[in-house]
Structure 1
Amino acid sequence: MKLKNAYLIFVALFILGSCKKDDDTPGEVVPPRLLSEVAAEDDAEIVTFLKTHFYNYEEFENAAEGFDFKIKFDTIAGANSTEESLFDSSKLITETISVASSDWGRNDGEVVDHKLYVLVVRQGVIEGKPTIGDNTILRYEGSLLNGKLFDGSSNQPLLINLSGVVRGFGNGVEYFQTGMGPIENGDGTVSYDGYGIGAIFFPSGLGYFSNPPAGSAIGSYTPLVFKIDAFAYEKDTDYDGDGIPSILEDVNNDGNLNNDNTDESSEPLNGRVPNHYDTDDDNDGIPTKDEINLDANGNFVSFRDTDKDGIPDHLDKD
């Protein structure tokens, strides 16, 4: 299933900018805070939210006719004092992801574990889940822990590549199976059935850290929440069309495609692109597609290593 031209193309809000400068000292770049310090603070905030809030799980478990299958969070207090917290829900999944402080402009050598929390309220009916390299069809809503919305999508499906968004969002969506569709509604819109539903909670180190989008409601060092409807995905997306499924371009196998750039040293500073966006990964003048093994239909078969040096041809300039 090819999704590149499906419906609406989502131009990512999630592109990271440069470090902010201190207004009191013009021209002096202020380094971001310690990654380890912020990670601990963010996780404490998220855990506090998860332990003091619940979602409308009873509505999902006993769905009445007309139920909209929307997640709603509320505080555990008063009439809701006996509700099961998000933290104690069997639907909550936790993943630990390592982040280097150098990703955020620090040179202190820190590599810090960050907790990603994924609430899978309803798993999709289609077996298989997207990878960080795949195109997906999603509906989402982004908010702060205090409930303030910063990004509410339209009700129509949006095409999103999971490596073109902040890491917590992309890695979180990997936990969702998708649904059946698209189903034409007869009015120019489409819908899906049996899709995955849930929410993702993650610290700023997996989001924007010290560089939130200009003009947004997101502040520096702010944990984020996304409610997700996972409609569909394109298995083995080849984003740059170089013949290699994007997920196989994770050279260092760290679950992050954006830090794999084999020919970075030979690319201009303002033109550097990771391998999954690059049709000539080693910049040797030979397209990647001509340095791998494809079948008669142009589908990836295997990597080629002509000189037997352990480096695939498409990553080996010599």
Structure 2
Amino acid sequence: MLWKRVCVVLVGIGLLSGCGEDDGIDIEIVPPRDLAEVAVENDADIREYLQTHFYNYEEFENPPAGFDYKISVDTLAGENAGKTPLIDQVESIEITVTSGELGLEDQPDVDHTLYYLIAREGMDESPTVADSAFLTYRGTLLDDRDFDGSFTQPIWFDLARIQGPLQGARGFAEGMPFFKASGGITTNPDGTVTSIDGGVGMIIMPSGLGYFNAAPTNAIPNYSSLIFFVELFTIEETDHDGDGIPSIQEDLDGDGYLYNDNTNEEQERETIGGVLRVNFLDPDDDGDDVPTREEIIIQADGTLVFPDSNGNGIPDYLDDTFPEDS
């Protein structure tokens, strides 16, 4: 479901375009709500949830025999009233969301708070937002209703793809780097696999980092905050455009968001029928008709060298003045 948002939008467009003026069908177009207003409401709802719920942290601190290292959450009430609330155990980061990412118009950028809980950190490396991650997950609303998941068998997620505009899961992609992969994976007799010590936790996101007003299923009301329970097994570095540069190294401004790095965007916009391709999806980053792979050097040990043939301080693969104007 994490990748279905674009498909839903396209299907909706197709349905609308098939209705003629005389079909007698009245369609009410509901404009999207204000991004800043929804962000405040979502954060209030999330904080209330965190203040009134706890997770089985005692089992993680002192694992009983046969413990499966799965997070369970319950309300702070009755015999559990004295438990430590999630609000005291989560960490958070601020992520700026632009209106263009959600297909909105004429709305200012808005900072959103992403909350995450590390129940078990993991033992190996952490993924970047550009990597692929092999994991199990469970997606729920704040009222504990499930809407998606692969609870027992891990699956691969391309974090870079689901971070993208209109995908509906930027918060998921940007939360995963806080977890570490497992130091080992065990294959069980039934064919399932078990993480020995992979990162386990929660990612709690407002709708601006999720589906906002374009939820792909009725199971997710529009403007819903989302919770993902995750266990990370292993990761794989990616080079999406096959140009020899790992995708994370094509985040030129280093802000952790891959979709605002497009070296030749102006050129692409001026080209009739041109397609905008951000650097990590573009095999010719500067648009000079010389593939990026031919403008870099990959040494025997895998180290990358970026020549600057005309000495202007811009690597050849990002410099559309090379070689014609050098």
Flag structure 2 segments of 5+ consecutive residues without an equivalent: 17-23, 163-168, 322-326
For residues 140-167 of structure 1, what are the alpha-carbon distances to aligned partners after superposition, in whole Å with 9 as ceiling and x for unaligned? 1111111111102152221112112221
Task: Specify the code of the residue in structure 1 equivalent to 2:249.
Answer: L
Give yes or no for the alignment of 1:179 onto 2:182: yes
| Pair 1:94 & 2:79 matched | no
Quote the offset at 1:180 in angstroms.
2.2
Deviates more, 1:252-261 or 1:116-125: 252-261
Instruction: Please tell me whether residue 117 in structure 1 is matched to residue 111 in structure 2.
Output: no
2:26 maps to 1:12: no
Residues 263 and 283, structure 1, Cα contact 8 Å, conserved in 2: yes
Displacement of 1:97 in angstroms is: 0.9
User: 1:124–1:158: structure 2 CA closer, same or farther, 3 Å change rule?
Assistant: same
- Work out which of the residue numbers 127, 132, 147 in structure 1 matches 2:129: 132
User: Aligned to 1:120, what secondary structure does the other structure show?
Assistant: strand
Task: State the shift of 1:12 in Å.
Answer: 3.0
Indicate the residue corresponding to 1:3 in structure 2: none
Measured against aligned partners, the alpha-carbon deviations of 1:250-283 in whole angstroms (never above 9, x if no partner) come to 1233211123233445277695432212222233
Give the 3 Å change call, closer, same or farther, for CA 261–269 of structure 1 in structure 2: farther
Which of 92, 103, 106 is matched with 1:105 structurally? 103
Aligned to 2:230: 228
Alpha-carbon separation, structure 1, partners of 2:113 and 2:311: 40
Letter in 2 for 1:115: T
Indicate if the aligned counterparts of 1:243 and 1:300 stay in contact, CA closer than 8 A.
no
Q: Find the counterpart in structure 2 of residue 244 from structure 1.
A: 245
Q: Does 1:157 align with 2:154?
A: yes
Q: How far, CA to CA, are the matches of 1:41 and 1:16 in structure 2?
A: 28
Deviation at 1:175, TM superposition (A): 0.2
- Structure-2 change in CA distance of 1:263 and 1:85 (3 Å): same
**Selected match of 1:278 from 279, 282, 291:** 282
1:291 corresponds to which letter in structure 2? E
Q: Name 1:293's counterpart in structure 2.
A: 297
What's the CA shift for 1:133? Answer: 0.8
In the superposition, the TM-score normalised over structure 1's length comes to: 0.85
Conserved? CA contact 2:297–2:306, under 8 Å: yes
The one of 311, 321, 324 equivalent to 1:308 is 311
What letter matches 1:79 in structure 2?
E
Conserved 8 A contact 1:16-1:208: no
What's the TM-score, normalizing by structure 2?
0.83
In structure 2, the partner of 1:79 is: 79
Letter of the structure 1 residue corresponding to residue 84 of structure 2 = E
Residue from 188, 194, 198 that aligns with 2:197: 194
- Structure 1: distance between partners of 2:160 and 2:77: 39
* Displacement after TM superposition at 1:313 (Å): 2.2
- CA radius of gyration, larger in: 2
Distance 2:248 2:181 in 1: 18
Aligned-residue offset at 1:98? 1.1
How far apart, CA to CA, are the structure 1 residues paired with 2:272 and 2:49?
A: 44
Q: State how 1:27-38 maps to structure 2 within 5 Å.
A: 31-38=31-38
Relative to structure 1, the CA distance from residue 65 to residue 256 in structure 2 (aligned partners, 3 Å threshold; closer, same or farther) is same
CA contact (8 A) 2:262 2:278 kept: yes
Q: Distance in 2 between matches of 1:270 and 1:32?
A: 29
Number of positions where the alignment pairs a residue of Structure 1 with one of Structure 2: 302
Ranges in structure 1 where 5+ consecutive residues have no aligned partner: 1-9
For 2:238 and 2:210, locate their aligned partners in 1 and report how far apart those are by CA, in whole Å: 23
CA gap of 1:15–1:125, structure 2 versus 1, over 3 A, is farther
Partners of 1:109 and 1:305 in 2: how far apart?
Answer: 40
- Partner Cα distance (1:150, 1:261) in 2: 34
Superposed CA deviations along residues 261-312 of structure 1, whole A, max 9, x for unmatched, are 3344527769543221222223332211111221136x34133332333433
The amino acid of 2:41's aligned partner reads E
Q: Single out whichever of 271-280 and 55-64 deviates more from structure 2.
A: 271-280
Measure the CA separation in 2 of the matches of 1:192 and 1:162: 20
Superposition CA RMSD, Å: 2.8
Report 1 or 2 for greater relative contact order, CA contacts < 8 Å, sequence distance ≥ 6: 1
Cα shift readout 1:226-268 (whole Å, capped 9, x = no counterpart) = 000011112x432322111111111233211123233445277
